[in-house]
Amino acid sequence: MIKVLLKAKIPWKNIEINETRIYEEGSTIEKILSDIGIEMEDESNFLVAVNGKIEYKDYVLQDDDTISILPALIGG
């Protein structure tokens, strides 16, 4: 089992999380997104950073990672 700090703020889904969670070894960002109810069709609407670096859904979680899920900024 691994421990990660999950920070997520997705206003349009009423998601606001700032807590430590436990996942099985080999879990990916896609698992976290599924657990909090974010569908992969929404992928262009948010960014996922691991320890401050943008990562993709297939990133394998490591013990003590900090995962930040934030809305993508859209300009106009």
Q: Is residue 76 part of a domain?
A: no
Radius of gyration of the chain (CA): 12
**Residue 30, in any domain of the structure:** yes
Query: What are the helix (H) ranges across the chain?
Result: 29-35
Could you list the pLDDT tens digit for every one of the 76 residues in the chain?
999 999 998 887 888 999 999 999 999 999 999 998 887 665 567 889 999 999 988 999 999 999 999 887 655 5
In total, how many domains does the chain have? 1
* Token duo for residue 74: 């859209």
In a domain, 16, yes or no: yes
Distance CA(8)–CA(65), nearest Å, equals 14
CATH number at residue 53: 3.10.20.30
Given a contact cutoff of 8 angstroms between Cβ atoms, the answer to whether 4 and 66 are in contact is: yes
CA distance 75 to 73: 7
Domain limits for position 12: 2-71
